[in-house]
Structures are given as structure tokens and as C-alpha cells.
Amino acid sequence: MLANNVVGDRFTIDGDYVGNNGTIELDTYLGDDSSPTDRVIINGSTSGQSYLVINNLGGTGAETREGIKVIEVNGDSSGEFIQQGRVVGGAYEYYLHKNGMNNQDGDWYLRSQLPVVTPEDPDPTPDPDPEPENINRPEPGSYMFNHMAANSLFLMRLHDRMGETQYTDALTGEQKVTSLWLRQVGGHNRSRDSSGQLKNQGNRYVAQMGAMLLSGVPMV
């Protein structure tokens, strides 16, 4: 439904909508609140349950406030729309939210924020609603660790890694350069991003052995 690799389609229902576990598929450019998107407009009330699939057509993600409106309900909004599958753009993860940030309009939005659950407060005056936090997708944490590994992946020669190693001859006491070497390295890495959402840790161990079989100086 509306998924044709073109953003900006509108599908209008002049009447009530009853969901029966069907699926609605929309194309969206995932970015900030002003991002272009397909939209379903219901000029009536909603009931039942439906699933929503979002196709990102090139959006690189951004922080949202109100969100990207994908379903507009101009009546009683009792129906339930459930996000099916992940919705990701760039470094951001999007979730389907009902209602605007400051009003109960019954419309449905995509926001790069987790749905906020306001706990029941026994006090006469409830606390203010918590400020929503934009959500980063988890993959960038792996990208950072992969980049760290790639920096040392192709250090194959002893000279690339640490230069010449010397040993002391037990008989003469002279410092000599060995042609046979063994290298063992281990490490533990931890990292986290500035938002505190992405945390990574890893262990590594490397064992390498080699020998210089032939060396020479080019003749001039």
C-alpha cells in the first residue's frame, strides 16, 4: 500500500477504518520533523489492529521532536497501529508513536525516540512527563570497533609493527639483530559514545611468528 519507491503519496479514506491485522506499507525519507513521507488520511474513526511497515528511501536520520506524521486520524482514534520491523536512518532508530508531543491528536508519528511510559503517580499532582531522548541505532558501536581493528589489521612485517628488535649475544655480549621473531599481543578495549547509549567492550589476542629469509641492498 503506497510503497512504490516514491515519497509523498497520500491515501485518503472517507469514512471509518477497521483494522483486521492487515499491513500498511509506506515510503518515507527518514530525517527530521519536516521529512517527506507517504501518509494515510482517515476522515473517520479507527478501530481494530493493523501493522505498519516503513521503507526508508535514502534518509540519513536526524533528531526529531514532533516526529514524521504517517497516519492522520480525523475522528476517534481507538485503532492500534503496530510497527513491524526496524525503522533506521543513518545513526538513528525510529519508533512509531501515537499522538503529538503536546496534544492528544490521535495521529501517528515516527520519532527517533523510544516511546515514553509515564508511571502512575500516587501523589495528587503527577510529576512532569520525562523529556524524550533521541535513540541511536546499535550498529555504529560495531563500526567503531571494526575501525579500530582495521588500523592494525595489515601490520604484517616486524618493521611495520615495532622496528628492529635486538638481542645480546651470550658469548660476545654484542647487540645483534635477529632474523627470527615471535610476537604475542593481548588487549581489552572498552568504549562508549557521548550519549551513553552505545557501550562496547572486546578482548583480542594475537600470536605471530616469522623469520627474515632474505635481505639485500640494491646495486647502484
Give the per-residue pLDDT at 148.
74
* Percent of the chain surpassing pLDDT 90: 45
Domain assignments of the chain as residue spans, ordered by start: 10-111, 156-211
Q: Binning pLDDT at 50, 70 and 90, where does residue 170 land? A: confident
Q: Provide CB contacts within 8 A for 84, sequence distance 6+.
A: 23, 51, 52, 53
CA–CA separation, 194 and 13 (whole Å) = 44
| Residue 157 vs residue 200, higher pLDDT | 200
pLDDT at 93 over 70: yes
Cα dihedral: 29, 34, 40, 41 (round 10): -170
- 82 contacts 52 by C-beta, under 8 angstroms: yes
- Average of pLDDT values for 91-120? 86
Give the per-residue pLDDT at 154.
67
3 state DSSP class of 160: helix
What's the burial of 217, exposed, middle or buried (CB within 10 Å: 0-12/13-18/19+)?
exposed
CA–CA separation, 184 and 180 (whole Å) = 14
CA–CA separation, 29 and 32 (whole Å) = 9
pLDDT digits (tens, 9 = 90+) for 52-90: 999 999 999 999 999 999 999 999 999 999 999 999 998
The residues that bridge with 189 in the sheet, in sequence order, are 202
* Percent of the chain surpassing pLDDT 70: 84
For all residues of the chain together, what is the average pLDDT? Answer: 83
- 53 contacts 87 by C-beta, under 8 angstroms: no
CA 179 to chain centre: 47
CA-nearest of 50, 51, 48, 5 to 28 is 5
Amino acid at 166: Q
Q: Binning pLDDT at 50, 70 and 90, where does residue 190 land? A: confident
Strands 87-89 and 175-177: unpaired
Give the per-residue pLDDT at 168.
79
Give the per-residue pLDDT at 126.
56
pLDDT at 175 over 90: no
